[in-house]
Structure 1
Amino acid sequence: MLYLLAFATVVALLYYVFRDRTAVQPLSTALVSIREYVPAIPPGAPAHHWTDGGRYASEVDNDAMYQPAIAKLAGEHGPGNADEKCLALLVCDDANPFQDKAIAVFIDGQLVGYLAHGDALRLHRNLAHRDLAGHLSSCDAVIRGGGLWNGKRLSYAVWLDLAPFN
């Protein structure tokens, strides 16, 4: 009987302490907002076109959520890997709520991912050295991957002809 009274007292005390607390948002709500965030492409022509002589050595960080857009851009390529050359727009995304000094990568108006954080910081620095801070720039890109393996389509990757930055 004494245990039952103690248990009831603890439950009543916990209710009293936590009754006016703000409800916590479920994690799925936070994930939806990440998926819905897309920066705007500024109007006008790119202020600078970067090149690394066709090496395509800088890979774009892309999550699974960008794969459908990249697959559409890669076009039909049968069971082999895609090798689709295109123009990438590099958008300074200073309003990004998830990463400071982010650089979004767009191809044909579709967000396909972001530069790795270190590459984005170096590109911001190089844009500032050229008095182009915050301006739209571009580079050549290639979409690779997406071949068939065991009946399933592999992931795509976007590679940029962007010089490794000092």
Structure 2
Amino acid sequence: MSYGQILLFFFMCWLSYFAYWLLSRGPPNAPGRLSRPVEGSVRLEDLISKKHWARGETVKIADDGSYTANISRVAGNTFGENANRECIAFLVPEDGKASSDKAVSVVVDGLRIGQLSARDLMPFKVMLHGAGLHAQVTSCDAYIGGGGTAADGKKRHYAICLDVDWFEA
């Protein structure tokens, strides 16, 4: 075998592996929007915040992996790059009720990217009620990082953090 044939062989192997990798990823997930509109006619693209929480502690977002496509769209990172975006996140109580057992969705750019964890749900509900907002939409600063592709070709998880002070008056 000549040197050119060996290079051609390795190129064809790489090309077939790349085609397999692209095909094995499957079709992209559809964006996961809220199943029901919030308070009837409020669209997620047109959210208006009644209160913007001050910066304080870092709060992680609970994500079961079903909103990865939305997070990827919001993060805006291209193939293989890590995300690094600061943005405004809207905290939308589900069903428009102030019940303590209902989830609170985190929405950025009109796309749901997760929800508050059970650990952070109670302080949020208490401070929302204390501020007289009950089941209103609020906002806070957020950071989206991570994502991209690792050196071994595996997709890395996104890290979404809210920067809030629940105990602000």
Q: TM-score range by the shorter chain?
A: 0.5 to 0.7
Distance 1:147 1:131 in 2: 41
Matched to 1:163, the amino acid is D
**Would the alpha carbon gap of residues 41 and 143 (structure 1) be closer, same or farther in structure 2, given more than 3 Å must change?**
farther
**Would the alpha carbon gap of residues 120 and 39 (structure 1) be closer, same or farther in structure 2, given more than 3 Å must change?**
farther
Whose radius of gyration is greater, 1 or 2? 1
Distance 2:34 2:112 in 1: 10
Q: Is there any run of 5+ residues in structure 2 with no aligned partner, and where?
A: 1-31
CA shift, 1:36, in A, is: 8.1
Matched to 2:35, the amino acid is V
Matches within 5 A, 1:126-145: 126-145=127-146
Q: How does the TM-score come out when normalised to structure 1?
A: 0.67
CA shift, 1:73, in A, is: 1.0
Q: Deviation per CA, 1:37-58, whole angstroms, max 9, x where unpaired?
A: 63434545211001225x6x11
Q: Secondary structure at the match of 1:125?
A: helix
Q: Secondary structure at the match of 1:89?
A: strand
Find the counterpart in structure 1 of residue 87 from structure 2: 86
> What's the RMSD between the two structures over aligned residues?
2.6
Matches within 5 A, 1:11-160: 38-41=35-38, 43=42, 45-52=48-55, 57-77=58-78, 79-94=80-95, 100-149=101-150, 150-160=152-162
**Would the alpha carbon gap of residues 133 and 41 (structure 1) be closer, same or farther in structure 2, given more than 3 Å must change?**
same
Matched to 1:68, the amino acid is A
Number of equivalenced pairs: 128
Q: Secondary structure at the match of 2:67?
A: helix
Contact 1:92 / 1:136 at 8 angstroms: preserved in 2?
yes
Q: Deviation per CA, 1:81-101, whole angstroms, max 9, x where unpaired?
A: 2111111000111479xx923
Distance 2:105 2:128 in 1: 15
Find the counterpart in structure 1 of residue 29 from structure 2: none
Distance 1:77 1:49 in 2: 30
Q: How does the TM-score come out when normalised to structure 2?
A: 0.66
Q: % of aligned pairs identical?
A: 32
2:166 is aligned with 1:161:
no
